[in-house]
Amino acid sequence: MRDLQALPKAHLHLHFTGSMRVSTLKDMAQSQGIRLPENLTDNTALQVPADQRGWFRFQRAYDAARKVVRSEEAMRRIVREAAEDEAREGSKRLEIQIDPTSYAPFVGGITPALEIVLDEATLASRDTGVQVAIVVAASRLKHPLDARILARLAAKHAGEGAGQVVGFGLSNDERRGNTPEWAGAFDIARKAGLASVPHGGELLGPEHIRDIVTALKPRRLGHGVRAAEDPALLEYIVDNGIALEVCPASNVQLGVYNSLGDVPLRTLLKAGAQIALGADDPLLFLSRLTDQYENARKLGLDDYEISLLAHSSISASLASPSDKERWHDEIDAWLAAPDPVSDPASDPEPDPHAA
C-alpha cells in the first residue's frame, strides 16, 4: 500500500479559520487571555446531528475559534501554517476559502483583510512549494447585497496562480436564505473570470442542488454528496463537468451520514463524477486531507482508484494547464512506483542467525 502522504494532490475544500492547528488556537487564545470552550481543546473531534441544533453547536465552536483571529499576524500565521501542513501531506495546490468580512474589524476593513491573506499566500507558496490560491466566500447568514460587495473585491484580485483569487463561494448553513438571491453576486464574479464554487448538497438534498445549479452555475459544488440520491441529477452534474468537493469525515461528524460506510463515494465515482476530497475544517474534525484518502481506502478503493481521485482533484483545481500537466505526471509516477507492501525487494533481508 503506497504512502498516501506522498501522493500528489490538490486540496480544494478548506476553510480559513477551520484550517488552524489546535496548538495554534491555544497559543493565540492564551496570548490574548481568551478562554476557549473545552470542546475546542480536548482533542476530541466534533460530532453533531444534522439538524438545526447540531449546526448551531458547530457554528458556535467555529465562531469561538474565529474570535482569536484578531490581527494581521494571526491571519498570516494561519495561511503560513496551512501551506506548511499541506506540503507535509503532498499537496501541490491549496485553494483556501475565506470571508474577509469576519476579520475586517481588526485590520482596517475587508480590502486589507483580503490583501493580507493574498500577500501571505504568495510568500507561503514561494517558501513551501505549495501553490496557495484563495476562494472568497460570502455567507448565507448575511444579506445578498453584502455578497455583491465581496464579489467586486474578489474580482479586483482575480487570477489563477499563487496569491490570487480564483473562485467565489457561498458558505454556512445551506438551509438559510433563498439561493437565487445570491445570483447577482455570482454573475459579478463570473464576469471577472472567477469560478463559481458554492456549498450545497450537504444538509439539503437534490432539490436544493438543482436550485444552486440553476441560479449560481457552479464549476464545483462544495460537498454535493446528496446528488447521489437522484440519478438524473447526478447524470446532469457529470455531463456538465461540475466537480464535487467531497469531505467524508465532516459528512459523518456533521451527521449527514451515520458512518463512513454510508458516504456515497462509490456511487458518485461509478456515475463518473469528478471528485476532489477535502478536509473542510481540520480544527474541529481533527481530520486532515490525507485522512480523507485513508477513508477512501477504508471504503475499498485500491491505489489505482485513489490515484484517480488525486487526478480529479488536480483537474478540478483552478490552476494553470501547465501546472496541472506536471502534477498529473507526478501522480502517475507515484502509482508506477513499486507497492512497498507487495514488492519483495522491499522486504527486509532474512537474518541468517535467526532461529
Contact between residue 107 and residue 68 where contact means Cβ atoms under 8 Å apart: no
Which grid cell is 115? 490583501
Q: How is 39-61 classified by DSSP, letter by letter?
A: GGTSS------SSHHHHHHHHHH
How far is the first Cα of the chain from the last one, in angstroms, to the nearest whole number? 29
Q: How is 100-120 classified by DSSP, letter by letter?
A: GGGTGGGTTSHHHHHHHHHHH
Q: Of the candidates 324, 228, 183, which has an alpha carbon nearest to the alpha carbon of residue 168? A: 183
Query: CB-based burial of residue 196 (10 Å sphere; 0-12 exposed, 13-18 middle, 19+ buried)?
Result: buried
Angle between helices 321-336 and 303-316 in degrees, nearest 10: 170
Q: How far apart are CA 232 and CA 236, in angstroms?
A: 6
Name the β-bridge partners of 138: 170
Which grid cell is 131? 501553490
Rounded to the nearest 10°, the torsion over CA 234, 142, 138, 233 is: 10
Give me the sign of the Cα torsion angle 13, 15, 20, 25. Answer: negative
Q: How far apart are CA 330 and CA 211, in angstroms?
A: 38
Which grid cell is 309? 481521485
- Considering 72, 95, 115, 202, which one is annotated as catalytic? 202
Which grid cell is 254? 456533521
Instruction: Please say if 86 is a catalytic residue.
Output: no
Name the β-bridge partners of 63: none
Which grid cell is 312? 480529479
Residue entry with cell 496557495 = 132
H helix count then E strand count, the chain: 14, 9
Which of the residues are catalytic? 202
